[in-house]
Structure 1
Amino acid sequence: MNSAPPTKRRRTDDPDPPESPLVRSTEYWFDDGNIILQVESTQFRLTKGMLSMHSNVFRDMFMIPLPPDQPTIENCPVVTLSGDTPEDWNHLLGVMFPRSLLQGKPTAGLLAGVLRLSKKYDIPLFREDCIWRLKAEFPSTLKEHDKFLSWAFIRDESDILFPLASLAREIGLHSILPVIYYRIVASTGENGYMNMVLDETAPGFSTVDRLACMRGYIKLLDLQSQTTMSWLDVKKIPVGVCQQRPDCRKQMHKIIRDLHGAQRLEISAIHEWVSDWDTDLCELCTKEALKIFQDGRKECWNKLPSVFGLPEWDELKRLDLE
């Protein structure tokens, strides 16, 4: 097991660089702590036992005697952690020291912070929980997708899908990208995600992700017209044996007008069936329309990765680094 990043030591012949004043964490400075972690200009006073219980890296590090000239504060060794941020450490420590029994749904920032640090310091339990939540929220099978409503496992926040797409690429969790992208392109309302993508105003959204969504939006419109929404073809519905053809035909024209009256065509390739659609359709026409729709959903799901320029589902799962 590799040891933790070594403490920074400044050479005596180097000029003193400008530094931010050191500050103690207001939440994670424990009087009975026996180790101080310095992250940028923020110091956390913690216990070796707690860190060792969660992190194999810290456990191994604390088994090695510290050098005699190790900096100390109030007799506590100070270990500087390079490459980390105080924000990520606040997220990680918030998981280690919960303030309540039920923590609820994590934010995207919490997930990102815990995932980065739990990998660096080998904290498997927290990492496994974050990965499980991401895979459950953005599943790789249609069956799992239909089990829960959106945002069952992660807190819904403004523009959350953009940082989650970046996070998926950062940690190598490729199998969640298709559903993240789908939710982006399917959100076309006044304040929808897709409006920001098309207007290039999405903050923190990479060119790779932006192009994938723009191309996927066009491809999904074509795909759903040939699959899930192909039941709107008046040559298919009303069915040949329909006994209420005038009523069913009237309902079909109404649905088509409503769908095409939107400012921008909606993506509904893997959406659930809308109950209003069959309000005035006879039983025979409804049954046929539902069959076409459900068969189309399965086809759209199977092709979902490819419309965004990604490998097939099985290959995406093999590519996952987690």
Structure 2
Amino acid sequence: MDVDSEQAPVTDRGLTRAEGLYFEDCGLIIRIQAESTLFRISRDYLASQSPVFRDMLSLPPPKTADTMDGCPFVQLLDTAKDVTVFLKALMFCDYFEAHPVQVSFDIVVGVLRMSHKYEVDSLRKRALAHVCAAYPTTLGEYDKLIASGIERPWTRIPKEVDSFVVLARELSFDWILPMAFYRICEIASESHMLSGPYELKDKVREGNVAGCSSPAHCREAKFQARRLAEGYRIRMSSDAFPVFPLRIWEESQESQDWFDVDVCDACLAHMKHEHQLAKQNFWDSLPAMFDLPEWSELEKIKTEALK
């Protein structure tokens, strides 16, 4: 990209040169359009690593194109944070090491987003390897991860898990979503889950109940009830008489379970109906858990015995 004599020089007054990424002997300056950061790197090296930059830089500049310090410069819409981790990952071999070396949330997310956008497959695959290790797709992988005691810190912080959900939807690596949604349920509050940056269909697995008078309030209350039930089951299961599925949530004179659910009448009726269906499904599968015939066959045996 030759600099035309009619190009207008631009000063870097008021702009910040990126620390460690502004090389005086290189011929391309990158400016972040919405920020004040400048990067100066090798045009040829960047083009050799990214086909997107190669195509971008192969275009002849217009005669009125701006220059800075005698160099052509390009403006990017990305953030300075993402550009920084991307360029460092490209240029410094020990900055973004392969799994199983631990790397920070900002590096993984920045490299993943930028390597996808600018088609740097080697970095994209390395970033995905880190993500896949943190969000397993089999129970065996999950058990090994838990047993190792080296879960990534960014799998235990709700906002950072949110970011991976958004990226997974955006960049089509949906295989992490089951584990990501599970972790959100595990570590986040009900209000956080409902205010997350992803679509409502990913937050709530059912639509609004017909006749519901307060959808937002009832959704949060349902989350609370489910988490309360799971917590109760785990807590009580450590006692002499563990709580099994048919007793997790009851409706009896002694029980306050349904009384404590703060939802509208329509949602309460819907929840009771769904709870009963779940109990029935569990009940229907009970004989098979013990290698017994189906209930219908057992009923026949009972009927014959009582004749």
Question: For the superposition of Structure 1 and Structure 2, which TM-score range results when normalised by the shorter chain?
Answer: 0.5 to 0.7
2: CA distance, partners of 1:151 / 1:56: 40
2: CA distance, partners of 1:69 / 1:29: 24
2: CA distance, partners of 1:90 / 1:102: 12
Which is further off, 113-122 or 92-101?
Answer: 92-101
- Deviation at residue 168 of structure 1 after TM alignment: 1.9
2: CA distance, partners of 1:158 / 1:223: 21
1:111 aligned counterpart, secondary structure = helix
Given the superposition, is the C-alpha separation of residues 199 and 100 from structure 1 closer, same or farther in structure 2, using an over 3 Å criterion? closer
Q: Which amino acid aligns with 1:183?
A: R
2: CA distance, partners of 1:117 / 1:174: 18
2: CA distance, partners of 1:114 / 1:256: 46
1: CA distance, partners of 2:202 / 2:66: 45
Q: State TM-score, norm by structure 2.
A: 0.55
Given the superposition, is the C-alpha separation of residues 129 and 220 from structure 1 closer, same or farther in structure 2, using an over 3 Å criterion? farther
Aligned match for 1:24, one of 17, 25, 28: 17
Q: Which runs of 5+ in 1 are unaligned?
A: 1-8, 10-19, 233-250, 265-291, 296-322
2: CA distance, partners of 1:143 / 1:221: 28
Matched, 1:117 2:106: no
- Deviation at residue 50 of structure 1 after TM alignment: 2.4
1: CA distance, partners of 2:223 / 2:127: 27
Matches within 5 A, 1:222-241: none
2: CA distance, partners of 1:220 / 1:165: 21
1:51 aligned counterpart, secondary structure = helix
1:33 aligned counterpart, secondary structure = coil
Q: Which runs of 5+ in 2 are unaligned?
A: 1-6, 8-12, 206-218, 249-256, 258-285, 290-307
Query: What is aligned with 1:305?
Result: none
Percent identity, aligned pairs only, is: 26
Q: Deviations over 1:209-240 (max 9, x none)?
A: 43259778877998999xx99xx7xxxxxxxx
Q: Deviations over 1:158-214 (max 9, x none)?
A: 3332222222222222221111111222x3xxxx42xx2246686646544432597
Which is further off, 86-95 or 146-155?
Answer: 146-155
Q: State TM-score, norm by structure 1.
A: 0.53
- Deviation at residue 56 of structure 1 after TM alignment: 1.2
Matched, 1:180 2:196: no
Query: What is aligned with 2:30?
Result: 37
Given the superposition, is the C-alpha separation of residues 218 and 139 from structure 1 closer, same or farther in structure 2, using an over 3 Å criterion? farther
Q: Does the Cα contact within 8 Å between 2:31 and 2:73 map onto a contact in 1?
A: yes
2: CA distance, partners of 1:49 / 1:199: 45
Matched, 1:59 2:65: no
2:18 aligned counterpart, secondary structure = strand
Structure with more contact order per residue of length (Cα contacts < 8 Å, sep ≥ 6): 1
Aligned match for 1:131, one of 128, 133, 147: 128
- Deviation at residue 88 of structure 1 after TM alignment: 1.3
Aligned match for 1:93, one of 63, 87, 96: 87
Q: Does the Cα contact within 8 Å between 1:197 and 1:210 map onto a contact in 2?
A: no
Q: Does the Cα contact within 8 Å between 1:22 and 1:43 map onto a contact in 2?
A: yes
Q: CA RMSD in A?
A: 4.1
Given the superposition, is the C-alpha separation of residues 32 and 85 from structure 1 closer, same or farther in structure 2, using an over 3 Å criterion? same
- Deviation at residue 130 of structure 1 after TM alignment: 1.5
Q: Does the Cα contact within 8 Å between 1:133 and 1:153 map onto a contact in 2?
A: no
Q: Which amino acid aligns with 1:72?
A: T
Q: Does the Cα contact within 8 Å between 1:53 and 1:59 map onto a contact in 2?
A: yes
Q: Deviations over 1:26-72 (max 9, x none)?
A: 23111111101111232210101321232111223333433343321
